[in-house]
Homo-oligomer: A and B are copies of this chain.
Amino acid sequence: MPPEAPAGLRGTVLVAGVGLLGTSVGLALSRAGVDVRLSDPQPEHVRTASGLGAGRPAGEGDPHPCLVVVACPPALLGEVVAAHLRAHPEAVVTDVGSVKSAPLVDVAARVPDVADGRRYVGSHPMAGSERSGPLAATASLFEGRPWAVTPHARSAPEAVETVEALAAACGAITVRMTPDEHDRAVARTSHLPHLMAVLTAGRLAGAPAEQLALSGQGVRDVTRVAGGDPALWRQIVAANAGALTELLREVRTDLDGLLAAVETGAPLEPLLEAGRAGVAAIPGKHGGTPTPVAPVYVAVPDHPGELARLFADAGEIGVNIEDVRIDHDPGRPVGLVELAVRDSHAEVLRSALESRGWTVHR
């Protein structure tokens, strides 16, 4: 017997758009006992998502939904949300798009009826986007992650509660903020870093191979996200142009100062110190204050089974590993593995690994 659907989601939920996010919402809600229907402009995506257990294909004669979750490309959000507000005059409608203010303006323009607008509450789960499509979906995508819920001035309290019930049913942690606050937050923590990675990576395209031969882990980390889908990112940037413009202008001011300092030999410390403070300001694992961690470097032969042996030994030693990094420098038959552990555990782990025959770099 399936579990009883959570309070607030006792009716049917329609998921409109079954890519990575929509299908994952369907999987999580179905697992929670909710009656889910799925729609998408691409019928094969509906078949796939339904086959995975995300819900039943939407059709004629379906019960009226209590909630519609719109999970379509950013540029279409306003149009699709408005269409569902009109098509389902009793339903709460939300969306899971990466920006919140521009779609709200679009919805408001398309839905002049104040009563209809009350039923719309935007939201944004902070879940991975390296992959796409229903096959990449998973019921646990949102577990423990922040899910921004962004009511507008006229959103009905009951509609906000329904959307918060959705986030809770998916295992996420609700963070309530206004659409503007949300957009400023993701401009700073996601969209600006993405564009800075793009600008950095742009200097590598077409560079001489002998220059790129000196690439280390640093440049790989700084540029990784710039490998993301240009079509998606064009839409995200366009939809959050206001908040991004402000930050990009601040960066240009800093860049001008940096250029002048490099050219004239003026002190760089204030800028470098601000960067260091920024890194320290990012909240730690599990949302708390960052745990002070220390690196333990271990030489590991680059073939199957060796990492297993290392982690088995670390596990037996009883030290929790907070993070792992494998060094990718060219030409090393032996990899250097960096294990990040609590400060106070680092020396214990080093000694214990050495006594088990590992080469630990001190």
Stretch at the interface among A89-97, A103-111, A129-137: A129-137
* A259-B248 contact in complex given A285-B330, A303-B320, A323-B326, C-beta closer than 8 Å: yes
**Contact in complex: B361, A330 (CB < 8 Å):** no
14 CB contacts below 8 A, A to B, read A136-B361, A140-B334, A145-B332, A189-B219, A203-B250, A204-B279, A215-B283, A223-B279, A227-B275, A234-B269, A238-B262, A249-B259, A252-B255, A305-B316
Instruction: Give every chain B residue within 8 A of A247 (Cβ-Cβ).
Output: 203
Instruction: Give every chain B residue within 8 A of A325 (Cβ-Cβ).
Output: 324
From B145, B252, B265, B278, A259 is in contact (CB under 8 Å) with B252
A164 → chain B closest CB, angstroms: 15
Instruction: Give every chain B residue within 8 A of A271 (Cβ-Cβ).
Output: 198-199, 202
Instruction: Give every chain B residue within 8 A of A181 (Cβ-Cβ).
Output: 210-211
* A278-B226 contact in complex given A138-B362, A330-B285, C-beta closer than 8 Å: yes
Chain A stretch 194-223: residues in CB contact (< 8 A) with chain B: 194-216, 218-223
A265 → chain B closest CB, angstroms: 6
**A302 lies within 8 A of chain B by Cβ:** yes
Q: How far is the CA of A6 from the CA of B258 in the complex (A)?
A: 46
Q: How far is the CA of A213 from the CA of B287 in the complex (A)?
A: 7
**Contact in complex: B141, A331 (CB < 8 Å):** no
From B200, B214, B295, A131 is in contact (CB under 8 Å) with B295
**Contact in complex: A362, B200 (CB < 8 Å):** no
A53 → chain B closest CB, angstroms: 12
Additional 4 contacts, C-beta under 8 A, given A196-B197, A226-B279, A308-B312: A185-B210, A200-B278, A212-B283, A234-B269
* A227-B320 contact in complex given A148-B214, A205-B281, A221-B222, C-beta closer than 8 Å: no
**Contact in complex: B314, A308 (CB < 8 Å):** yes
- A265: nearest residue on chain B (CB-CB)? B238
- A145: nearest residue on chain B (CB-CB)? B329
Q: How far is the CA of A177 from the CA of B248 in the complex (A)?
A: 37
Instruction: Give every chain B residue within 8 A of A221 (Cβ-Cβ).
Output: 221-222, 224-225
Instruction: Give every chain B residue within 8 A of A315 (Cβ-Cβ).
Output: 304-309
Instruction: Give every chain B residue within 8 A of A8 (Cβ-Cβ).
Output: none
Q: How far is the CA of A206 from the CA of B275 in the complex (A)?
A: 11
- A244: nearest residue on chain B (CB-CB)? B262
Instruction: Give every chain B residue within 8 A of A284 (Cβ-Cβ).
Output: 328, 330
Q: What 8 A-B pairs come out closest when comparing CB atoms?
A: A287-B330, A308-B315, A201-B278, A198-B275, A144-B332, A204-B278, A230-B272, A305-B315
- A141: nearest residue on chain B (CB-CB)? B361
* A222-B203 contact in complex given A267-B234, A283-B330, C-beta closer than 8 Å: no
A330 → chain B closest CB, angstroms: 3
A242 → chain B closest CB, angstroms: 9
A290-314 CB contact bits vs B (8 Å, 1 = yes)? 0000010101001111111111111
* A282-B212 contact in complex given A218-B193, A247-B203, A251-B199, C-beta closer than 8 Å: yes
Q: How far is the CA of A263 from the CA of B246 in the complex (A)?
A: 10
Q: How far is the CA of A194 from the CA of B203 in the complex (A)?
A: 13
- A201: nearest residue on chain B (CB-CB)? B278
**A318 lies within 8 A of chain B by Cβ:** yes
**A7 lies within 8 A of chain B by Cβ:** no
**A173 lies within 8 A of chain B by Cβ:** yes
